[in-house]
């Protein structure tokens, strides 16, 4: 009997170990990553295999669209089914941190000196770091080299050249961009000294809105001037602009890196340059979008996940990332590499990115887009002068924020 | 084998005893009545289904009330959904229990009155007879509970919570706030004026878009119903095409075509007719005109086909009699065709009014509710209807609680209107048609 019982006990212990061992091992060596299906997902999968060979840590990539990851994580995370590493554009950062989805990274233990400073800023919320950036998206001047052999130094010169070429009757257009989209229009606001939310050093201050100051008034007047010169008539939407550019009827326009795939496919001639200087000597300060890898707050292998992210965004792999999926890397040491500087298109976006600020990542930004688009609309349609309309818009933004937080 | 315990008492209180016993434990009364099999089945049901599920139900019902206690662990939205399901299950179990008591009582009554107790065979056949409709309905009812009742209950409940971005689960636990959302939303001073204007346009839009589609549909159906028209089938097929194309694609096409400086519509107007370009998407009046026209283009084929169907089913003898009486063509239409068509169509007109009241697609896709109107607060544009305004106001700001509260108000408005009109239509009253 006694012997029997011992054997039983042994068997039980062995069974337990056999049951637990794989789960323990798996738990420690498998990281789940969500990434949009397509080139990015394939890239992470490919790198995951490399990482597995190097470290023995398995990387499992699930195709989840970047823009729907936060909703999915909010539901799957608490249930224990979420990913360890998630990806989305930085303008959703504040919102997702308010939802409690992300883990704050131990910044004092990290060396971030080689990353583009504005990209790291984009990963901060209320002064704390939540992600490691891997790609940038900036706006730049996209032009037709046949029509515009050389990009002038200043915007005023560009406008002058554009005016000479502009001839609506012949369907020839000089310079265009979607002025009613505040994302595109902000370049002028920032260049003339306006700001959306004051950067206090420990995060953006949603109570300090600089969209009705001198610079903002000047910027809107500049936009009004573009309308009055006949360059950008009513109804100039992004689709129209892309269409005209592909047809070869548009000399230059403002666009982002997402557009050139379309131009390449259509066989359109294009070249990219940073935006020229404004008449106050400053460059337009556009918004950049930053994509980063974040660690889920629900992950039970946060440290391992962070290690993988840091490996994925190191200099060597960041360059590979650029080679494979033509992203604009968020590392200065990559942008300065001689191999990188051969690609003029990407380089133009990268230079513009250094002259940009991250799009505000606090959720209050959601209240800014519509009132500002409306303010620009009112000025362009002669419903009032900027000095009167902009303060009213700022009031609307403040009211919106007040309602949002109530 | 089957003894009747109560039969032998010879008293008149058997029904109360068995009802009381069944109240104490399911099936006890049935056993007292001598229905052993049913009693055992019910006892098993209480022992293995009802009692074990009580803690689970209580836990989830408590979750519905507290909406969770520990942030990051308890997810208020899940707790709410489970709570609703638990409430449904609890109601079902309570009904089962009550039916069990009533069954014991009625059976006891029958025995008290000297009736014969029912054997299990009889009970089974009774159950199949009486329960058959419920059995057939069960999948449907289950689907209604899951796919209609649950989302609606969820929506209604969100309207009474503080669910917005800054109180989002899993970081925060939701709280019940009573009618605060409704009060806050309706009393924000700068929105009150906007609300009035948006509401007015919404009603105008709903009436005009419904009337225009049905009018045009009827006119074309009447024309195409005339046997003297050639190629009727071909014309009808061509006219049905706008309905066959997915609406949101054609709306986006229209958006491009109506572009002020680059659209084909203005191009035609300026080159062929030498007119000034019309600001379709920039001027409030023209945008409203454009959304109604685009909706007309999208919607008339449906009413045309429907009215064609009705016209073809009209009894010919009415017209023959009218001709004999010397009625003119217009009189035939006025006194025969129109009333008969309206009799069939009226409920559908009410339904499409309710649909158009909330016709988000056309408004949002054609011009995003724009143009911006100077002085309108809270993001509203000139062609925004209630539902698209609420979308901008709440979803862009992630105020899910306001969104739920507002959609509840819109829901009540439409329900009130629809009920009022339905009960007034003749087809609802099922009176004789032509009086």
**DSSP assignment string, A94-106:** HHHHHTT-BPPP-
The nearest CA of chain A is from the CA of B150 a distance in Å of 18
Partner residues linked to A30 by β-bridges: A58
pLDDT band at A16 (very low <50, low <70, confident <90, very high): low
**Probe site for chain A from B73, B171, B190 (most A CB atoms < 10 A):** B171
Half-sphere CA count of B26, side-chain side, radius 13 A: 22
With beta carbons under 8 A apart, name residues in chain A contacting B73: 78
Which residues in chain A have their CB less than 8 angstroms from residue B398's CB? 95, 363, 366, 404
Residue B435's pLDDT is 43
d(C-alpha B239, C-alpha A273), whole Å: 50
- How many Å apart are CA A112 and CA A115, to the nearest integer? 6
What is the pLDDT, as a whole number, of residue B1? 37
| A297·B172 Cβ contact <8 A | no
Residues paired with A129 in a beta bridge: A124
In angstroms, the separation between the Cα of residue B359 and the nearest Cα of chain A is 22
Residue of B397, B398, B400, B401 to mutate for A, most A C-beta atoms under 10 A:
B397
Q: Answer yes or no: do B379 and A405 touch at CB < 8 A.
A: no
What is d(CA B82, CA B63) in angstroms, rounded to the nearest whole number? 8
Range list of β-strands (E), A203-258: 204-210, 250-255
Q: From the DSSP assignment, how many helices (H) and strands (E) are in chain B?
A: 20, 0
How far is residue A192 CA from its own chain's centroid?
22
A8-12, A59-63, A339-343: range with lowest mean pLDDT: A8-12
The verdict on a CB contact (< 8 Å) between A374 and B372 is yes
CB–CB of A319/A339 below 8 Å? yes
User: Is any Cβ of chain A less than 8 angstroms from the Cβ of B271?
Assistant: no
Which residues on chain B are in Cβ contact (under 8 Å) with A72?
A: none
Band of pLDDT at residue A11, cut at 50, 70 and 90: low
Mind listing the pLDDT tens digit for each residue in A185-227?
A: 999 999 999 999 998 878 899 999 999 999 999 999 999 999 9
Contacts of A369 in chain B (CB under 8 A): 396
A65-114 pLDDT, tens per residue? 998 998 899 888 888 888 999 999 999 999 999 988 999 999 888 888 89
Residues of chain A whose beta carbon is less than 8 angstroms from a beta carbon of chain B are 74-75, 77-79, 95, 98-101, 168, 233-237, 239-240, 297-298, 363, 366-367, 369-371, 373-374, 377-378, 381, 383-384, 389, 396, 399-400, 403-406
> Average pLDDT for consecutive 10-residue bins of chain B (435 residues)?
48 79 88 85 91 91 88 85 92 92 87 74 81 88 92 93 88 89 80 84 93 93 87 88 88 90 88 86 91 93 91 87 87 87 86 89 89 79 89 84 89 88 70 51
> How sure is the predictor about A375, in pLDDT bands with cuts at 50, 70 and 90?
very high
Three-class secondary structure of residue B384 per DSSP: coil
pLDDT of residue A4: 57
Backbone φ and ψ for A291, nearest 5 degrees, come out as -105, 135
C-alpha–C-alpha distance, residues A396 and A289, integer Å: 25
Count of Cβ atoms closer than 10 Å to residue A355 Cβ: 19
- How many alpha carbons lie under 13 Å from residue A142 in its C-beta half-sphere? 29
The answer, yes or no, to whether residue A24 has pLDDT greater than 70, is: no
Tell me how far apart the terminal alpha carbons of chain B are, to the nearest angstrom.
68
Distance from CA of B283 to the nearest CA of A (A): 10
The structure tokens listed for B212 are 């225009």
As a whole-number percent, the residues of chain A with pLDDT over 70 amount to 93
Structure tokens that stand for B268 in this block: 């035609």
Pair of tokens at residue A340:
């990188």
B175 in contact with A, Cβ within 8 Å: no
Q: What share of chain B is helix, strand, coil (3-state, %, to 5)?
A: 75, 0, 25
Any idea how long chain A is? 406
Return the residue in B170, B191, B257, B266 with the most chain A beta carbons within 10 A, the one to mutate for interface testing.
B170
Q: What are phi and psi of A168, to 5 degrees?
A: -55, -35
Q: Domain locations in chain A?
A: 30-137+289-358, 140-287+361-405
User: A301-305, A397-401, B185-189, B420-424: which has the minimum mean pLDDT?
Assistant: B185-189
Contact B384, B392 (CB under 8 A): yes
- Report helix angle A386-405 to A214-228, nearest 10: 120
What local confidence, expressed as pLDDT, does residue B2 receive?
45
Token pair of A29, please?
């060596």
- pLDDT confidence tier of residue A25, bands split at 50, 70 and 90: very low
pLDDT at A372: 93
Q: Among all residues of chain A, which has the CA nearest to that of B382? A: A374
Structure tokens given for A282: 């400053």
Please tell me which residue of chain B has the smallest CA distance to A79.
B73
pTM, to two decimals: 0.82
Q: In whole angstroms, what is the distance from residue B114 CA to residue B94 CA?
A: 30
Residue A13 has pLDDT above 60, yes or no: no
CA distance A99 to chain B (A): 5
| pLDDT exceeds cutoff 70 at A20 | no
Per-residue DSSP letters for B36-100? HHHHHHHHHHIIIIIHHHHHHHHHHHHHHHH--SSTTTS-HHHHHHHHHHHHHHHHHHHHHHHHH
> Which CATH superfamily groups domain A30-137+289-358?
Periplasmic binding protein-like II (3.40.190.10)
A22 pLDDT above the threshold of 50: no
CB contact under 8 A, B166 and A405: yes
What pLDDT sits at residue B333? 86
Residue-range domain boundaries for chain B: 7-167, 181-429
Question: Within 10 A of B268 (CB to CB), how many other CB atoms are there?
Answer: 12
Measured distance CA(B24)–CA(A139) in Å, rounded: 75
Q: Which of B49, B59, B67 has its CA nearest to residue B87?
A: B59
pLDDT score at B164: 87
Q: Which residues of A touch B286 (CB under 8 A)?
A: none
Q: Which of the four CATH numbers 1.10.3720.10, 1.20.1260.10, 1.10.10.10, 1.10.260.40 does domain B181-429 have? A: 1.10.3720.10
Report yes or no: B379 at the A interface, CB cutoff 8 Å.
Answer: yes
Mean pLDDT check: name the lowest of A67-71, A285-289, A313-317, B327-331. B327-331
A140-287+361-405: CATH architecture: 3-Layer(aba) Sandwich (3.40)
CB atoms within 10 A of CB A341: 12
The 10s digit of each residue's pLDDT in B299-314 is 999 999 999 999 988 8
How far does the CA of residue B281 sit from the closest CA of chain A (Å)? 8
Mutate to test the interface with A, among B79, B173, B262 (most CBs of A within 10 A): B262
Is B141 at the interface with chain A, CB within 8 A? no
């Amino acid at each position: 009997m006694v012997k029997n019982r011992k054997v039983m006990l042994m068997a039980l212990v062995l069974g337990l170990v056999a049951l637990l061992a794989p789960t323990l091992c798996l738990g420690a060596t498998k990281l789940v990553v969500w990434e949009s299906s397509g080139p990015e997902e394939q890239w992470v999968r490919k790198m995951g295999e490399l990482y597995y060979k190097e470290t023995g840590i398995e990387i499992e990539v699930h195709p989840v669209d970047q823009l729907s990851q936060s909703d999915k994580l909010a539901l799957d995370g608490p249930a224990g089914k979420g990913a360890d590493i998630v990806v989305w554009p930085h303008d959703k950062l504040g919102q997702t941190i308010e939802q409690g989805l992300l883990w704050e990274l131990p910044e004092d233990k990290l060396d971030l000196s080689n990353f583009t400073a504005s990209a790291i800023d984009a990963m901060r919320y209320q002064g704390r770091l939540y992600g490691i950036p891997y790609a940038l998206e900036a706006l730049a001047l996209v032009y037709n080299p046949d029509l515009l052999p050389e990009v002038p130094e200043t915007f005023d010169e560009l406008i002058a050249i554009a005016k000479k070429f502009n001839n609506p009757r012949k369907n020839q257009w000089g310079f265009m961009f979607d002025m009613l989209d505040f994302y595109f229009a902000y370049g002028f606001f920032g260049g003339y000294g306006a700001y959306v939310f004051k950067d206090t050093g420990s995060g953006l201050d949603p109570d300090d809105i600089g969209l009705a100051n001198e610079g903002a008034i000047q910027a809107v007047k500049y936009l009004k001037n573009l309308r009055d010169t006949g360059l950008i008539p009513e109804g100039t939407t992004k689709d129209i602009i892309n269409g005209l550019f592909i047809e070869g009827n548009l000399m230059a326009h403002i666009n982002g890196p997402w557009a050139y795939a379309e131009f390449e496919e259509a066989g359109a001639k294009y070249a990219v340059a940073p935006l020229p200087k404004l008449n106050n000597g400053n460059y337009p300060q556009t918004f950049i979008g930053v994509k980063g890898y974040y660690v889920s707050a629900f992950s039970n292998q946060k440290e391992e996940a962070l290690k993988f992210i840091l490996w994925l965004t190191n200099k060597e792999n960041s360059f590979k990332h650029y080679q494979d999926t033509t992203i604009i890397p968020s590392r200065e040491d990559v942008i300065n590499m001689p191999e990188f500087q051969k690609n003029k298109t990407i380089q133009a976006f990268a230079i513009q990115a250094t002259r940009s600020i991250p799009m505000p990542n606090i959720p209050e930004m959601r209240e800014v887009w519509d009132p500002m688009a409306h303010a620009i609309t009112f000025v362009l349609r002669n419903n009032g002068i900027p000095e009167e309309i902009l303060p009213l818009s700022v009031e609307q933004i403040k009211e919106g924020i007040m309602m949002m937080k109530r | 084998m089957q003894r009747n315990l109560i039969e032998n008492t010879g008293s008149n209180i058997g029904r109360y005893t068995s009802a009381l016993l069944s109240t104490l434990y399911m099936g006890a009364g049935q056993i007292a009545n001598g229905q052993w099999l049913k009693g055992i089945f019910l006892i098993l049901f209480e022992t293995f289904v009802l009692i074990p599920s009580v803690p689970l139900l209580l836990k989830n019902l408590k979750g519905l009330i507290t909406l969770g206690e520990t942030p990051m662990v308890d997810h208020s939205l899940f707790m709410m959904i489970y709570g609703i399901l638990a409430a449904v299950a609890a109601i079902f179990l309570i009904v089962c229990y009550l039916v069990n008591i009533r069954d014991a009582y009625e059976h006891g009554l029958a025995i008290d009155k000297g009736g014969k107790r029912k054997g299990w065979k009889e009970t089974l056949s009774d159950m199949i007879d009486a329960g058959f409709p419920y059995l057939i309905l069960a999948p449907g009812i289950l689907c209604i509970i899951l796919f209609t009742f649950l989302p609606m209950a969820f929506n209604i409940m969100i309207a009474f919570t503080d669910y917005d971005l800054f109180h989002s689960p899993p970081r925060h636990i939701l709280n019940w706030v009573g009618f605060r959302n409704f009060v806050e939303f309706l009393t924000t001073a700068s929105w009150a004026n906007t609300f009035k204007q948006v509401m007015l346009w919404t009603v105008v839009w709903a009436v005009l878009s419904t009337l225009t589609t049905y009018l045009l549909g009827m006119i074309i159906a009447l024309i195409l119903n005339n046997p003297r028209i050639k190629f009727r089938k071909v014309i009808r097929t061509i006219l049905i095409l706008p309905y066959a194309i997915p609406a949101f694609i054609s709306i986006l096409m229209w958006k491009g075509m109506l572009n002020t400086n680059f659209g084909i519509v203005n191009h035609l107007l300026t080159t062929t007719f030498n007119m000034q370009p019309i600001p379709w998407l920039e001027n409030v009046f023209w945008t409203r005109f454009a959304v109604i026209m685009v909706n007309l283009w999208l919607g008339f084929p449906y009413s045309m086909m429907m009215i064609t169907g009705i016209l073809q089913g009209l009894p010919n003898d009415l017209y023959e009699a009218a001709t004999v009486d010397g009625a003119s063509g217009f009189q035939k239409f006025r006194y025969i065709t129109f009333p008969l068509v309206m009799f069939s169509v009226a409920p559908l007109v009410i339904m499409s009014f309710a649909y158009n009241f909330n016709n988000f697609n056309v408004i949002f896709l054609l011009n995003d509710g724009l143009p911006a109107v100077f002085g309108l607060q809270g993001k509203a544009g000139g062609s925004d209807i209630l539902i698209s305004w609420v979308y901008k106001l709440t979803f862009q700001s992630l105020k899910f609680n306001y969104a739920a509260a507002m959609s509840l108000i819109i829901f009540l408005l439409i329900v009130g209107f629809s009920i009022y009109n339905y009960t007034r239509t003749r087809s609802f009253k099922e009176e004789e048609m032509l009086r």
